[in-house]
Structure 1
């Protein structure tokens, strides 16, 4: 018996819209209506945050890759809560010496939910065209030798 797998069962192929963005020195795969834990942001709960460093954006029909970032792409996030990650232990020991050091660390995190991913065209900043004005330069007069 052969068991054929349908590609629509794979969670990455079934998604219509996702983006890969850079935040907190890391790259994340963002999808709409999902929660993500990123490094602590200086924002209060229920605040809206916009990410503009989008490296890749995929919608229903196309994939857009940035050089290095995609222009006019935005991800709207909402801060859900602030929390702390699990404690990690660091134990340093030097053999045959009485040197031991035990330290712990808990990373501060912010839980965010993705509200929307968009690729919008920016409107022109001003409708009036700017005219360039050239300054007239006078030719330097030659010194006459009499």
Structure 2
């Protein structure tokens, strides 16, 4: 069983071939593929975590679609001063499917 832990936006995700991951918006090349940086690689009993060996590891993924996350409402209020502020935010996301770990 081969899997890798990759850097996906500001987080780390455990991925195998065929895994679908939602991460912060990233740009794809003209074919719709991206390369993710590996942090850890597990190949059966062999675990690779040093940076020199991980420089040779390529985790490729195909961009499925771009989407937006759920709306988050931010409200600020200060008592007795009449100060109220309301704003919203929707995170830009990309859904990718891992196609290879080499």
TM-score, shorter chain, exceeding 0.5: yes
In structure 1, distance between residues paired with 2:65 and 2:53: 28
Instruction: Provide the TM-score with structure 2 as the length reference.
Output: 0.88
The answer to whether the aligner puts 1:40 opposite 2:25 as a matched pair is yes
Number of residue pairs matched by the alignment: 102
**2:93 aligned residue:** 109
Unpaired segments ≥5 residues, structure 2: none
Instruction: Provide the TM-score with structure 1 as the length reference.
Output: 0.63
Unpaired segments ≥5 residues, structure 1: 1-15, 119-146
The answer to whether the aligner puts 1:70 opposite 2:54 as a matched pair is yes
In structure 2, distance between residues paired with 1:75 and 1:28: 12
Larger Rg: 1
Which deviations, in whole Å up to 9, do the C-alpha atoms of 1:51-91 show, x marking residues without a partner? 2x211100123111124871300101000000000001110
One of 13, 27, 30 as aligned partner of 2:15: 30
Contact 1:46/1:80 (8 A) holds in 2 = no
The answer to whether the aligner puts 1:99 opposite 2:83 as a matched pair is yes
| Greater strand share, structure number | 2
Tell me: higher relative CO, structure 1 or 2? Use CA pairs within 8 A at least 6 residues apart.
Answer: 2
In structure 1, distance between residues paired with 2:29 and 2:5: 24
**1:18 aligned residue:** 3
Task: Give 3-state SS (helix, strand or coil) of 1:89's partner.
Answer: strand
Task: Give 3-state SS (helix, strand or coil) of 2:35's partner.
Answer: strand
